A = this chain, B = another copy of it.
């Protein structure tokens, strides 16, 4: 039999109400009594039931995190940082991999609501899933869900600009952009707008290819093949995701392009993992750690009720210059 509050009370020589108050940190209890209760808990190996306390306190210290998949380096790194920060602050993470399917996302939202999470951090791409009167605090990372939800994002327009200018600066003339599903309202669209603006400003014609899903490499190869068939003279490619950039680079090499002499390539995300195993790939580095930190802090402020206003925070990205955009001499 698991020991109960009553057993702790008996051993400590206090009332069950007193034990309960100590556990929930409510009402005045002398430090001497607290010590007696904790000693008794230890003696009979009593494990507090956080679930029961959650119901009583109306706080679960659970945070739902909805991401497309931890299997992608950017989301794996982001979830890692979010979980670390939640744990440091006494919160637990309920992980939900939505695979970018609207139906799955909706089910996760319902599940999180039924489980009384204190808040949600959402890193997926389907709008309109939560009604405006949603009843718990939420922070969206990198995209707008609705007007009454905080947003923490990196500067996607700046990233698109940095990447496009880098290719122009190293002498590329025929620069093509590869991005994800054109129908998703993702922040990656900002990267495309920036690319188009930079191209127009430089008097060049922008051309964007869309892959069905940046995260699923296999589904993208047909688009990459088509790009090279239709544009054999391409000399610069800005891909909106590092994995996509690497895949494009591999295909280009198999066609005989020398990198960077014939073709220069730049990616996006710049996770520690990819920079470590593919340091030669130029990329735009997202500030993953700061994104996670800002999201967790904003969410906890709302949970604690210390902030009422809806926040919008945009963080700067930076250029990682590898060999794939080295100027040909």
Q: Report chain B residues within 8 Å CB of A84.
A: 97
> Is A325 an interface position by the 8 A CB rule?
no
Q: Report chain B residues within 8 Å CB of A54.
A: 51
Contact B277 A247 (CB under 8 A): yes
Report the bound CA distance from A277 to B50 in whole Å.
44
User: Per-position contact with B for A6-48: 1 when CB-CB < 8 Å, else 0?
Assistant: 0000000000000000000000000000000000000000011
> Is A314 an interface position by the 8 A CB rule?
no
- A contact face: mostly helix, strand, loop, or mixed: helix
Contact A76 B83 (CB under 8 A): no
Q: Which residue of B lies closest to A90 (CB)?
A: B111
Residue from the list B71, B95, B277 in contact with A243, Cβ < 8 A: B277
Q: Which residue of B lies closest to A53 (CB)?
A: B114
Q: A93-B95, A116-B50 are in contact. Are A70 and B80 (CB under 8 A)?
A: yes
Q: Size range of the interface on A?
A: 35 or more
> Is A228 an interface position by the 8 A CB rule?
no
Report the bound CA distance from A309 to B273 in whole Å.
40
> Is A77 an interface position by the 8 A CB rule?
yes
User: Per-position contact with B for A49-88: 1 when CB-CB < 8 Å, else 0?
Assistant: 1111011000010000100011111001101100110010
> Is A4 an interface position by the 8 A CB rule?
no
Q: Which residue of B lies closest to A277 (CB)?
A: B246
Q: Report chain B residues within 8 Å CB of A113.
A: 47
Q: Which residue of B lies closest to A104 (CB)?
A: B87
Q: Which residue of B lies closest to A111 (CB)?
A: B92
Contact A273 B111 (CB under 8 A): no
